[in-house]
Structure 1
Amino acid sequence: MTERPYHRPLTPGDRFFEGIESGRADPLRVAEAADRAAYLLVRGAHDSDDGEIADRVLHLADTEGIETIAEAWAGRPADTIAGCLWRLYLLRSWVYADPLGVAREFEAGRARAAVDSVVSGVADPPGPDELRDMVDQVLRGIAAGDFADVLLRAAAFARVVATGRAELPDSDTLAAARIQSVADQLDRAARLELAGRLP
């Protein structure tokens, strides 16, 4: 059986989350470069006084060829900065590709998911524009705020959407489980970050 092909983060549909399970083996030097780039984006940007860095980090996926680095990030473990960035950009790309579908799933899940609405941070009612604004606000925190808070908010958002997807009549339980896995991974990474142990 051949290995599943790599899926870039801008691919529409449920395939967004297949990349989490790809198990692609990257050469050591590529992994080191991916980790270094991720470290500089998170730690370097956070320590900077440049007010434009938050917006530059946010729009890397759209304007600066982040896909090339993301290919390396995709193979990094969930409990690394690079692995976290992969999952965060995955969520953002997914929301931008299908804002109506994600809004529908979020609406279906928010009454049942065990998260604080302040943590997930979506306006009421959560339409497509509100979801895009929320995910952008969360990712701005990479450069301008607390990385643990970014991870916790993204995890809460993913948990609500996974719950909603599972609740809908046309639910895809495999896709919902993948999104829930992303939420769990981001939550664990946030705990590591709070403890000063996220590499």
Structure 2
Amino acid sequence: MADDFHKPTLFGGREFEAFEGAAPDPAVSRRIAHDTARSLVARVRDSADPEVLDRVVGFTDEHGLDAVAELWARSSPRSLPGALWRVYLLRTMIRQDPDGVALLFQRGSEVLSTIDPVIAGAPSPAGPQEVLELSERILRGVFDGDLADALDRAAAFCRVEAAGAASVADDQDAASPERSTELTTRASRLATIADELTTCARLARDDALD
């Protein structure tokens, strides 16, 4: 039965590697990351021009993930720049392989007994177009809605996706152990991101996410 599944493109390890290591000048990098994150969020929220939000949401679509990685990827996972980096990372992951992401999201929705699929906000069943639209709504919510709610939705999405990846990994264990290991690693990383975003959402509600 596992062979019936489309094999989702695994999000390359390069994108996740930025979670580790130290910047050459941590103090300067940290200040730049926090300043740019605060300024960007403030600019979008203060602007009455809807094109500003469109440009910010679509920034990585045009310029690539590396453009924001240079600013925010090495920031603390419990900070505003760290939260922004993770949300952009998720959007890029979804845009790179909406079919595979939708498959894992649907499987996760089926195996989870939590309300995370509801919190994430995707319909059931959720196809590629639905997960693409969800990623855009989450990112827009970060800049033009309730920040804490948007981060909670992103965290819930990660938990559903992680559950789906773990479930499909179990299916693949005997037939394709290497792929099973890759999916298990992906599930673990997504679960970690979910925990970090949940913490950021809690800090945002306390007006303490900086």
One-letter amino acid of the counterpart of residue 181, structure 1: T
Query: How many equivalent pairs are there?
Result: 189
Contact in 2 for aligned 1:54/1:142 (Cα 8 Å):
no
In the alignment, structure 1 residue 96 sits paired with structure 2 residue 95: yes
Distance 2:108 2:64 in 1: 33
What letter matches 1:126 in structure 2? A
Contact 1:26 1:72 in 2 (8 A): no
How far 1:93 moved relative to its partner?
0.4
Percent identity (aligned): 38
Rounded to whole Å, the distance in 2 between the matches of 1:157 and 1:115 is 11
What are the residue-to-residue correspondences of 1:14-25 with 2, within 5 Å? 14-15=12-13, 18-19=16-17, 21-25=19-23
Letter in 1 for 2:23: A
1:82 aligns with 2:93: no
Paired with 2:189 and 2:42, the residues of 1 have a C-alpha distance of 28
Encode CA deviations 1:98-144: one digit per residue, 9 max, x unaligned. 11111111011013332343321112221111110110111111221
Q: CA separation in 1, counterparts of 2:89 and 2:31?
A: 21
Distance 1:191 1:29 in 2: 27
What is the match of residue 8 of structure 1?
Answer: none
Distance in 1 (CA, whole Å) between partners of 2:193 and 2:14 is 11
Matches within 5 A, 1:145-156: 145-156=145-156
Kindly indicate which of the two structures has a greater share of residues assigned to helix: 2
Give the whole-Å Cα distance in 2 for the aligned partners of 1:26 and 1:123.
Answer: 44
CA distance in 2, matches of 1:162, 1:66: 21
Code of the aligned partner of 1:15 = G
- The match for 1:134 is 134
For 2:162 and 2:61, locate their aligned partners in 1 and report how far apart those are by CA, in whole Å: 25
Residue 16 of structure 1 contacts residue 90 of structure 1 at CA under 8 Å; is this kept in 2? no
**Which consecutive unaligned segments of at least 5 residues does structure 1 have?**
1-10
Corresponding letter in the other structure for 1:144? D
The 2-side partners of 1:62 and 1:116 are apart by 27
Please give the secondary structure, in 1, of the residue aligned with 2:50: coil
AA aligned to 1:22 is E
| Pairs within 5 Å for 1:8-19 | 13-15=11-13, 18-19=16-17
SS at match of 1:130: helix
Aligned mates of 2:18, 2:111 — CA distance in 1:
25
Q: Which has the larger radius of gyration?
A: 2
Q: Give, in angstroms, the shift of residue 15 of structure 1.
A: 1.5
Which residue is equivalent to 1:181? 192
Name the SS for the 1:49 alignment partner.
coil
Q: Report how far residue 59 of structure 1 moved.
A: 0.6
Q: RMSD of aligned C-alpha atoms?
A: 2.0
Structure 2, unaligned runs of 5 or more:
1-8, 173-179
2:204 is aligned, of 169, 189, 193, to: 193
Give the letter aligned to residue 89 of structure 2.
L
Return the offset for 1:46.
Answer: 1.8
Does structure 2 retain, via aligned residues, the 8 Å contact 1:159–1:183? yes
Normalising by structure 2, report the TM-score: 0.82
